[in-house]
Structure 1
Amino acid sequence: MGKVPAMGRKEDKEKRQPNPQKTLSTSVDVDAKLQQAISLYQIGQLQQAEQICQQILKDFPQHANAIHLLGVIAYQVEEYKIATDLISRAIGIDSGQSLFYINLGNVLQEQGRLEESIQAYQQAIHLQPDHADAYSNLGIVLQKQGRLEESIQAYQQAIRIQPEHTGAYSNLIFAQDFHLDIGLKEQQVERQKWNQRFILPLSGSIQSHPNDRNPDRRLKIGYVSADFKRHSAAQGFGQLILNYNQAQFDVFCYSGVVKEDEITKRFKDAASGWYSTRGKSDEELVEQIRNDEIDILIDLSGHTDGNRLLAFGYKPAPIQVTGMGHDAPGVTTIDYRLTTPIRTQPEEEKHFVEAPVYLDFFMGFMIPLEIPSVGYLPAYENGYVTFGCLNRFSKVSDDSLELWASLLKRIPDSKLLLKSGELNDMELRGRTIDHLSHLGVAPNKVILLGGTSQYEHLNTYNQVDISLDPFPYGGGITTFESLCMGSPVVGLTGGLKQSHRNSSAILSPLGLNEWVAKTKDEYVEIACHWA
């Protein structure tokens, strides 16, 4: 899921390339300088772009576009407070540009200020009702608030305005994973539409592959992702890059990371080759992959933020694989998808275009560099049981909350702890408390926590006796983290889609079938039994 800038995709997610738009300047010279800064920004040369903006502001301190671009650059490097101040300052000078409000919404969203973000996107739409990016980005924040129907409507409106908006399409496909009433068949239909619109037209550009056919040489494996950094997706695929057999394979990483960190460095040190895709077109990326003579190219994103699925449409490698990071994207030029017998039922195979490769696990788990000690069972000290869910809040459906409320009523004095970055937003906290109160759960039985560092996030499990998996979109890395920190997970399997089977696909191979329920009633009974 990726926020899309006003000119072009953010995928692209993002993350993140909101493209500033040139408007009327005070002089031809300044106008040319600003365009130069924008061009440098778009190819990832942020420092050079920043320097030009600072030069402009020396002569024209109130130049709104230059100030706005500085704010967007700060956003790219995750300096969100600075970005908010700069973009707000630009709006104070020129309040008539919808793009300013879109990028303000993006920055506010990253800070968990979801209601303010919505207001910014709505103002952008007020100024420019046919702005597809404003609707697509509005859909993302609505989804984070759990307002799924409204988010889907926003994505659909973005597509109506701009049918070639690949980011809005991917956002819509991603959102369907969270919808209780949209099953696998319907999900694949939407993927087929995406494939027909964006991938099939590229078939004429597919070329033969010049790869050396010597069977004794090392195979070249290429991984494509914007998440080679501290990110949950990297925890799922990280060991593939850190622990491969260097005698048999060369590993190349095609990275869309903007702000690199210590995890990025680990991947860089382990890889045989590293190529930044930041600011590169699909054609440029395809040319690089072909020049590297990659044998097997692996998509690590699916339809999530920062994906480069269009590059896979050119078939730059003889074998292409997907299935890690997100469900298979439905791309006909991708040959195989990684799955498990639990995630994909035999009768469901007819809905996929990628051939299955069945594994015991559909994802791995890279243990964080810093991890707290596992504490004693919280119930021993508290005198009551604490159930918890540390998944992203957009996974916590109304049906999940209703089921958990019935569980709390069954266990006297038990409490429910919910933790997510989205819960930094006070309005969302208030609505969640109100919703649970309506379901008969008193506010003093609910603990709501916002985003923290990864170490503090993991340490929160020392406050949780039993983790509750949400549905219909079950946990992945969150399930692994909970188990790693000694908190067992109650999961619900079955359902109409693969994401509903995430936790069971993790728990069952580990011999934890007794924690996996097939019905909602059984889910409650398992939680009550262990409580």
Structure 2
Amino acid sequence: MNDTEAQLDSALVHHRAGRLAQAKALYEQILRTQPGQPDALHRLGLLACQTGQHEAGIALMERSLAARPDAVCCNDLGIVLSERGQVAQAIERYRRAIALRPDYPEAHNNLGNALKDTGELEAAAASYRKAIGLRPDFPQAYVNLSAVQRRQKAYLLAIGTAQRAVQLAPGLAEAHNNLGNAYHGLDDLAAAAASYRRALELDPVDSNTHHNLSLVLLKQGRYGEAQLHCRRAMAACTSNASMHVCLGDILRAQGDMDGAIDAYRAAHQLDPGGATLALPRLLFCAAGSARVTPQQFLDDARRYGRLMASRARPFVHDRQKRAARAAGRPLRVGFVSPDLRQHPVGIFLESVLAHIDRTRIEPIAYATHPAEDDVTARLKAHFSAWHSLVGLDTESAARRILGDGIDVLIDLAGHTAWSALPVFCWKPAPVQSTWIGFFATTGCEAIDYIIGDRYVLPASEEHHFVEKPWRLPDCYVCFTPPPYDVEVASLPMLSAGTVTFGYFGKLTKVTDDVIALWSQLLCSVERSRLFLKAPALDARDLQQAMAHRFAIHGIAPERLTLEGASPRDQYFAAYNRVDIALSPFPYSAGTTTAEALWMGVPVLCLAGDRFVAHICESMLHTAGLGDWIAASRQAYVEKAVAFTNDRARLAHLRKTLRARVLASSLGDAPRFARTLEAAFRAMWDRYLAADDSAQM
């Protein structure tokens, strides 16, 4: 062994032991006498990268390769470049390493990683398979191949590959985590959770595994556990926006909307460019939050609108050509929604579409979610065409709508899940509006109108929206009765001897503030009861949590009836056990108000200061129940007491409310259809006249 080799060996010992100063001194000593010594150059370059001097380190490693091409050195340089985000350069170095040494499994595996980062999944998979072919007992290559197969949605293949990694390296936590990911992709939640738990036994602090397990537990409805693991993930990795989004989803499922808002806002602050992860969720929660002012909501909505617009290239419509194409034919109106099924959108759409005059309006559906049911089947019969946008990217979806020659395009989702708002930013139709799917501004400047009525869109609140208000003359929605007869029973308090208040909507609307007022109401009406019915109450822990929240205000558990989901006919029949329905605030009862009125049950609500708080008001005014709207919380309780003391009036309402609803625009579908047709035609006429300054 010569002096140089001895010095290199000594330097390497220091280097591996972490004694970097000593190693650096020896490398530099060698290079003073042999400036082109490739091993010293390469190792000094690696050391420089380890200490954060990446540019100098990469330059030294390049000099080493110029002096002596070497596969290992090329591979090492590729790793450094990958870590620096210079993926294209890393790929070139890995390929050079393979050219120098075709049987180099590590280089093939690393090339696969870099190709995966660029989205070249098939090429990445081929590199991993080559690595495995060269070394069949290479567990990391199996782990990586499984990850690619999962991204390709080849979940069964991914499971098999991940299982092989676990067999080869049962103590490798990453292998178990990856197997959990593959099971999760196949929606085998129990198997996924078991794999994640095994991974955490091997590596208890891995943030990715805690995060993955929290996502599965959320789907399983195990919210407490999900939150625990999500917070553990965040403790180890505070800057991961996706983890904050996950926490927001968990808190929202638990009914903590304000906590969810904080989590989504934190995610947006961490990753403003990836705001599509958090902003729509934040906006959904914020619209019904008393803590968020309408101006704050508008600011966030505008921010999301600008982000969507920055990713779109709006189509230009020639007004004269559009007018010529539309002349002499029905107006083509497209309805874009993920909820063309048993959902409030489906409920408020079905009966209206059944009475649309096809000589005036040609309705065309664009579904953004694959779920279908009996309501979907009935809705399909009322559209002239039905198209699925599922799986299409935003531009392709927009071009599909443009190609169909839609005149007026209606958003029926707003900031709810599976929304297609980004499509509207491409302006695929010359006239665009939002209606019934959401309850606040979209923030999308490309949407011309928001359809409502004088109750949900009072002139004093026009500044809450980027869209122009379009007010229908009566209620802005029309209820579709169930397709089976559910008889209205007599007033239950007459036989029960006590008053039963009820609320059958989302538990997320039942905030601590709402519970405080409802508890005050229960205390004011002796021996009264509260009947809450919601699918979430199938979970025993949520039942217990709800009972505890009322107990804080002195309401004993025996005064509550907490009931979960039931078949639709039994759901309607449950209203026969309710004397008076209660609307929460500020996120008021919408669909459940219409359902309660249909079943002869009047609804008590609190006057609000924004669209979402006015929905119940609109329906009550339309049904002639304006005196059931309380101007204050004190009035809310006083009205409840007064109404329960007037049994004769309640009994009369019980018998007459359904007929009253049917005689109003809330239940008269043919009348509402004519109103909606007129609105669409007027929007189109305004577009042709370019009269954008007029107000409805």
Q: Deviations over 1:126-149 (max 9, x none)?
A: 454333222123213313433233
Distance 1:227 1:156 in 2: 26
Query: CA distance change for structure 1 residues 186 and 253 in 2, over 3 Å: closer, same or farther?
Result: same
Alignment check: 8 A CA contact 2:493 2:579 kept: yes
Any idea what SS the aligned residue of 2:600 has? coil
Alignment check: 8 A CA contact 2:258 2:291 kept: no
- 1:154 is displaced (CA, Å) by 0.5
* Map of 1:341 onto structure 2: 454
* 1:302 counterpart (380, 399, 414): 414
Q: Give yes or no for the alignment of 1:219 onto 2:331.
A: yes
Unaligned 5+ segments in structure 2 are 1-120, 129-137, 168-174, 645-696
Paired residue type of 1:168: A
- 1:106 is displaced (CA, Å) by 4.6
Q: Give yes or no for the alignment of 1:511 onto 2:624.
A: yes
Q: Give yes or no for the alignment of 1:85 onto 2:190.
A: yes
Alignment check: 8 A CA contact 2:538 2:563 kept: yes
* Map of 2:521 onto structure 1: 407
Q: Give yes or no for the alignment of 1:115 onto 2:235.
A: no
* 2:404 counterpart (262, 280, 292): 292
Alignment check: 8 A CA contact 2:184 2:216 kept: no
- 1:298 is displaced (CA, Å) by 0.7
Q: Give yes or no for the alignment of 1:172 onto 2:285.
A: no
Q: Give yes or no for the alignment of 1:331 onto 2:415.
A: no
* 1:382 counterpart (471, 496, 499): 496
* Map of 1:191 onto structure 2: 301
- 1:386 is displaced (CA, Å) by 0.8
- 1:321 is displaced (CA, Å) by 0.5
Alignment check: 8 A CA contact 1:371 1:458 kept: no
Alignment check: 8 A CA contact 1:68 1:86 kept: no
Distance 2:312 2:252 in 1: 34
Normalising to structure 2: TM-score of the pair? Answer: 0.65
* 1:526 counterpart (634, 639, 664): 639
* 2:341 counterpart (229, 252, 262): 229
Query: CA distance change for structure 1 residues 281 and 474 in 2, over 3 Å: closer, same or farther?
Result: same
* 1:206 counterpart (301, 306, 315): 315
- 1:33 is displaced (CA, Å) by 7.2
Paired residue type of 1:433: A
- 1:93 is displaced (CA, Å) by 4.9
Paired residue type of 2:282: L
Range that drifts further, 372-381 or 286-295: 372-381
Alignment check: 8 A CA contact 1:242 1:266 kept: no
Q: Give yes or no for the alignment of 1:142 onto 2:254.
A: no
* Map of 2:48 onto structure 1: none
Alignment check: 8 A CA contact 2:453 2:471 kept: yes
Query: CA distance change for structure 1 residues 207 and 526 in 2, over 3 Å: closer, same or farther?
Result: same
Alignment check: 8 A CA contact 1:220 1:249 kept: yes
- 1:487 is displaced (CA, Å) by 1.7
Q: Give yes or no for the alignment of 1:151 onto 2:260.
A: yes
The alignment of Structure 1 onto Structure 2 pairs a total of residues equal to 493
Any idea what SS the aligned residue of 1:508 has? helix
Distance 1:276 1:106 in 2: 28
Range that drifts further, 247-256 or 352-361: 247-256
Distance 1:473 1:496 in 2: 11
Q: Give yes or no for the alignment of 1:489 onto 2:621.
A: no
Distance 1:326 1:499 in 2: 8
- 1:341 is displaced (CA, Å) by 0.8
Alignment check: 8 A CA contact 2:492 2:578 kept: yes
- 1:358 is displaced (CA, Å) by 0.4
Any idea what SS the aligned residue of 1:266 has? helix
Query: CA distance change for structure 1 residues 127 and 253 in 2, over 3 Å: closer, same or farther?
Result: farther
Distance 1:260 1:331 in 2: 28
* Map of 2:384 onto structure 1: 272
- 1:28 is displaced (CA, Å) by 6.0
Q: Give yes or no for the alignment of 1:257 onto 2:369.
A: yes
Query: CA distance change for structure 1 residues 32 and 296 in 2, over 3 Å: closer, same or farther?
Result: farther
Distance 1:101 1:377 in 2: 52
Alignment check: 8 A CA contact 1:378 1:463 kept: yes
Q: Deviations over 1:361-387 (max 9, x none)?
A: 222222334564333322233221111
Q: Deviations over 1:207-250 (max 9, x none)?
A: 33675524111221111111122223321233344443223332
Q: Deviations over 1:442-493 (max 9, x none)?
A: 2221222233443333332222111111011101111111112222111111
Paired residue type of 1:253: A
* Map of 1:17 onto structure 2: none
Normalising to structure 1: TM-score of the pair? Answer: 0.84
* Map of 1:248 onto structure 2: 360
Distance 1:528 1:437 in 2: 21
Alignment check: 8 A CA contact 2:284 2:416 kept: yes
Alignment check: 8 A CA contact 2:196 2:212 kept: no
Distance 1:351 1:320 in 2: 18
Distance 1:29 1:405 in 2: 58
* Map of 2:63 onto structure 1: none
Alignment check: 8 A CA contact 2:283 2:415 kept: yes
Paired residue type of 1:88: A
Paired residue type of 1:166: T
Distance 2:195 2:356 in 1: 49
Alignment check: 8 A CA contact 2:451 2:471 kept: yes
Query: CA distance change for structure 1 residues 60 and 218 in 2, over 3 Å: closer, same or farther?
Result: farther
- 1:163 is displaced (CA, Å) by 0.8
* Map of 1:78 onto structure 2: none
Any idea what SS the aligned residue of 2:406 has? coil
- 1:441 is displaced (CA, Å) by 1.6
* 1:454 counterpart (568, 583, 596): 568
* Map of 1:498 onto structure 2: 611
Paired residue type of 1:365: F
Range that drifts further, 60-69 or 429-438: 60-69
Alignment check: 8 A CA contact 2:146 2:159 kept: no
Paired residue type of 1:391: G
Alignment check: 8 A CA contact 2:192 2:216 kept: no
- 1:308 is displaced (CA, Å) by 1.3
- 1:59 is displaced (CA, Å) by 6.8
Paired residue type of 2:292: I
* Map of 2:650 onto structure 1: none
1:7-46 matched pairs, under 5 angstroms: 26=139, 35-36=148-149, 38-39=151-152, 41=153
Q: Deviations over 1:104-157 (max 9, x none)?
A: 545544554322332343344345433322212321331343323322210111
Alignment check: 8 A CA contact 1:338 1:358 kept: yes
Distance 1:196 1:315 in 2: 14
1:94-105 matched pairs, under 5 angstroms: 94-95=199-200, 102=211, 104-105=213-214
Distance 1:368 1:53 in 2: 45
Q: Give yes or no for the alignment of 1:431 onto 2:552.
A: no
* Map of 1:444 onto structure 2: 558
Alignment check: 8 A CA contact 1:112 1:424 kept: no
Distance 1:356 1:245 in 2: 24
* Map of 1:313 onto structure 2: 425
Unaligned 5+ segments in structure 1 are 1-20, 42-48, 75-82
1:57-96 matched pairs, under 5 angstroms: 65=178, 68-74=181-187, 83-95=188-200
Distance 1:343 1:176 in 2: 17
Query: CA distance change for structure 1 residues 123 and 267 in 2, over 3 Å: closer, same or farther?
Result: farther
* Map of 1:9 onto structure 2: none
Alignment check: 8 A CA contact 1:388 1:467 kept: yes
